[in-house]
A and B are shown apart, each in its own frame.
Chain A
Amino acid sequence: MKLFNFSQSRSLWMMHFCTGCGAMEMPPTMTSRFDMERFGIIPMATPRQSDLLLITGYLTIKTLKRVVRAYEQMPTPRYVLGFGSCTINGGMYWDSYNVIKKLELYIPVDIYINGCMPRPEAIIDAFLKLREMIAKGEANAWKKYIENYEWYKKNQSEVFDVEKWSIKNEK
């Protein structure tokens, strides 16, 4: 198990789900200036292949449906990173009718990075923090999703029609 945790921490494949304004911060972290690849983090095309889901900005209900679908398509163990204040408490869209105020209600989040769009250094710092948590085996937010699956589904159903939108395959 320890070897797996070590290897999982060293090679985190990121599902680059660019929602909201945080997406602009990703290119500098990826390219030569801040080079996140040296920590073994490379952007992957499909949720099937990735372990890390980045929510980089405010989430409207419409994108939440896609995010939940992508999250469920990722193999476990999977980790979620919430960027910016919009994911924490809705940020400057706190009073908007269709923006999600607390990301936690819908999908479990491992690490939040505050700041109205954190700079690349903060993102790298978050990655390193996540690495240690995985290495020590503490980052198991994904278990919460499986254990209280109904609670999450109830919260989601308040916002959109889960029945129509969820994937029906034998879990």
Chain B
Amino acid sequence: MAMFLLLLIIGLTGLLAFILGPIKVLRNIISLIGAIGGLLYFVFKIRPGQAYALNIKIYNVHFGTGMSALSIFFGIILLGLFLIFLIASFHEDNDGAYYMFSFFSLLGALGVLFAKDLISFFFFFETMSLFSFLIVLKGNGETSHRSAFKYVMWSAFGAYAFLLGTFLKVNYTHSVMITDISYLGGNIKLWILILLLTPFMVKTALMPFHLWAPGAYTDSKDTYTVFLSGGLSKIGVFGYFIALFNVFSQIAVLYPWLLKVFAYIGAITASLAGIYAFMQDDAKKLLAYSSISQLGYVAVGFGVYSHFSVVAALFHALGHAVFESLLFLVVAGVYYRTKTHDLRKMGGLIKKMPLSFIGLLFGIIATSGIPPTIGFPSKWLLYEAIILKNDLFLVSLVFFASITAFLYSYKLIHSIFLGKLHKEHEHIKEAPFGYGFGIVVLLIPLFVLGTNPGIVVKPIDYIVRFYLKPDLAYNLTNMTTPLGHVNFPAIGITMTLLFTLSFIIYLIFGKSYRAAQEDNYTATEWIDKDFGLHYGGEFYGFMRKAFGKPLTWSFEKILNACLKVVSFLGEIARGFYMGDARVYLFYIILFFAIIVYIMGGKL
């Protein structure tokens, strides 16, 4: 019953938040209590293994809700991120419905985690995408309704594929529960697996299915994107695990090529999304593509299908939840102050918003996977796993993708914080408390889990050990795989030591004074105060020439083509109802004649 109570708490808080909509303070307090209550309740009351039977007996489907260690792992991520999102969202002017929808999307997400059978899995998956669609619809910006439309279409596409897969499975195995189907004959199980995987590929925006993601991330409310990209995409990862391990455990034996294709799709998504990312001039679009690229790694992790590659994938999913939401939070704080996402209009904000700068700095260090932070262990494990699977081309593709991470993260931090402060941003203050609190809270795991990853690897290993033969030796601080050994805190300590050393060198020699902004070497040409020195937009413009034509290809064209076909069919169907009653009459008589002619034989 505990899980049912949890969903009830969240649902009720959502409703209350809606009813108390106009009274801002009361609504905020209620939703805060609800979120914290949910988190605490989840952490203390819910244990793995307990099956909270909420069996609504409808024909042969029962709403049993099971609980596995993995769902706790993701549950904590979800609830934690939701709390951060909530605290930050109090600064935005949202109405009651916004909070209700966000609470219900959380409810959907948690429901998915607890689902034991495919129909309730689908029920909660649909609720989650429905309510996040409604939030994206309420988002700011004028294109938000276009992207909301794309979002709902893509998630519906995924959901219906899932439904088809479920019913194929039920038809062959006569049970709706999430049970293994690898014993089925023929390649029907291949079809079932692909169909079941599609919604999760859509949710984690793998390449062919990623068209909705940039739009949805940029156009939904800034703080909600934190939860959308950090939290809800994790449901896709959870889905991968369910599909690849619970539903089809013998996949490595039966269809190894499918896993390799899945890994390569993930790698291609990571690199292509990275390239698109550093071409963007809008901060949130850049982060959206970066989030897609990071999720590509997770797909590679699952594709490689060895013990510590899945551990790496789950660890990277957690890492992604931490540093991606940190980046989105900082951009939200910047938007709160400067009211713009456009990289061209920002610049030099380090002078005004130092805390956000530090947050973003460590965020991008983690995104690019530089050692002391959380990004590195998962990437390191992933590389080791791929090399062990002796697929060298895949490892170079993934490495190429991680290089693009350096490019777009530097572009982000440079165009927002470094460079020349625009005149209108002269007197803006640091981002308000909500954002600051979120940044600080997210920085802690960034470093703690970065230096001693054992904390998280232990539970993940406990989950994955059940399915795959473990060959990763680890303790709190360092990890050894058959290939190599890394001691994470050692890297951290040496870097801090050396930092102090070079800082001392810096301090000994001479004093330096601060120069005014326009005291810049411009070949001694005279520039006045508001001379636009900031080189924010088109940062990697020349790369467009380097890539040339391939950059212009996009999946959008293929989608529009099949849309045209469907609307052509629509034209024909519409042509049937041409408006003149006599023609309708003629239809009836014609139909009668044809039927009689066909049936004539039997008459």
Contact = CB atoms under 8 A, between A and B. Distances in A.
B524 A66 contact: yes
B513 A167 contact: no
A169 B519 contact: yes
B516 A69 contact: no
B524 A47 contact: yes
- Counting chain B CB atoms within 10 Å of each CB, the highest count among A47, A48, A169 belongs to A169
Nearest to A47: B521
A67 B523 CA distance: 11
B515 A70 contact: no
A69 B524 contact: yes
A65 B526 contact: yes
A169 B525 contact: no
Interface in B508-524: 513-516, 518-519, 521, 524
Contacts of B521: 46-48, 73
Contact of A171 (B513, B525, B526): B513
B509 to A, nearest CB: 10
B513 A73 contact: no
Interface string A154-171: 000000000001011111
Contacts of A169: 513-516, 519
Contacts of B518: 167
Nearest to B517: A169
Contacts of B524: 47, 66-67, 69-70, 73
A8 to B, nearest CB: 13
A73 B513 CA distance: 12
Nearest to B519: A167
Contacts of A48: 521
Contacts of A73: 519, 521, 524
A43 to B, nearest CB: 15
Contacts of A65: 526
Interface in B481-521: 513-516, 518-519, 521
- Counting chain B CB atoms within 10 Å of each CB, the highest count among A69, A70, A171 belongs to A69
A103 to B, nearest CB: 17
Contacts of A47: 521, 524
A47 B525 CA distance: 13
Nearest to B521: A46
A67 B526 CA distance: 11
A40 to B, nearest CB: 20
Q: How large is the interface on A (under 10, 10 to 19, 20 to 34, 35 or more residues)?
A: 10 to 19
Contacts of A165: 526
Given A48-B521, A169-B519, A69 B513 contact: no
A64 to B, nearest CB: 11
Interface string B512-545: 0111101101001110000000000000000000
Provide the main secondary structure of the chain B interface: loop
Contacts of B525: 66
A5 to B, nearest CB: 15
B150 to A, nearest CB: 49
Contacts of A69: 524, 526
B573 to A, nearest CB: 70
Contact of B513 (A67, A168, A170): A170
Interface string B119-153: 00000000000000000000000000000000000
Interface string A45-75: 0111000000000000000011101100100
Contacts of B514: 169-170
B526 to A, nearest CB: 7
Contacts of A167: 515-516, 518-519
Nearest to B522: A69
A34 B104 CA distance: 81
A70 B521 CA distance: 8
A78 to B, nearest CB: 14
A46 B515 CA distance: 16
A46 B520 CA distance: 10
Given A46-B521, A47-B521, A73-B521, A168 B526 contact: no
A73 B518 CA distance: 12
Contacts of A171: 513
A167 B525 CA distance: 12
B530 to A, nearest CB: 15
Nearest to B518: A167
Contacts of A170: 513-514
A168 B516 CA distance: 7
Contacts of A70: 524
Contacts of B513: 169-171
A47 B519 CA distance: 12
- Counting chain A CB atoms within 10 Å of each CB, the highest count among B515, B519, B524 belongs to B524
Nearest to A73: B521
Nearest to A169: B516
Nearest to B526: A165
Contacts of A67: 524
A47 B572 CA distance: 74
Nearest to A76: B510
A169 B517 CA distance: 9
A65 to B, nearest CB: 7
A23 to B, nearest CB: 15
B64 to A, nearest CB: 71
Nearest to A15: B524
A169 B521 CA distance: 14
Nearest to B513: A170
A61 to B, nearest CB: 13
Nearest to A67: B524
A148 to B, nearest CB: 20
A65 B525 CA distance: 9
Contacts of A168: 516
A73 B331 CA distance: 36
Nearest to B516: A169
Interface string B266-308: 0000000000000000000000000000000000000000000
A46 B519 CA distance: 13
Contacts of B526: 65, 69, 165
A84 B519 CA distance: 30
Contacts of B515: 167, 169
A77 to B, nearest CB: 11
Given A47-B521, A169-B516, 8 more contacts: A46-B521, A66-B524, A66-B525, A70-B524, A73-B519, A167-B515, A167-B516, A168-B516
Interface of B: 513-516, 518-519, 521, 524-526
16 contacts: A46-B521, A47-B521, A47-B524, A48-B521, A66-B525, A67-B524, A69-B526, A73-B519, A73-B524, A165-B526, A167-B516, A167-B519, A168-B516, A169-B514, A169-B516, A169-B519
Closest 8 CB pairs of A and B: A169-B516, A66-B524, A167-B519, A70-B524, A46-B521, A69-B524, A169-B515, A169-B519
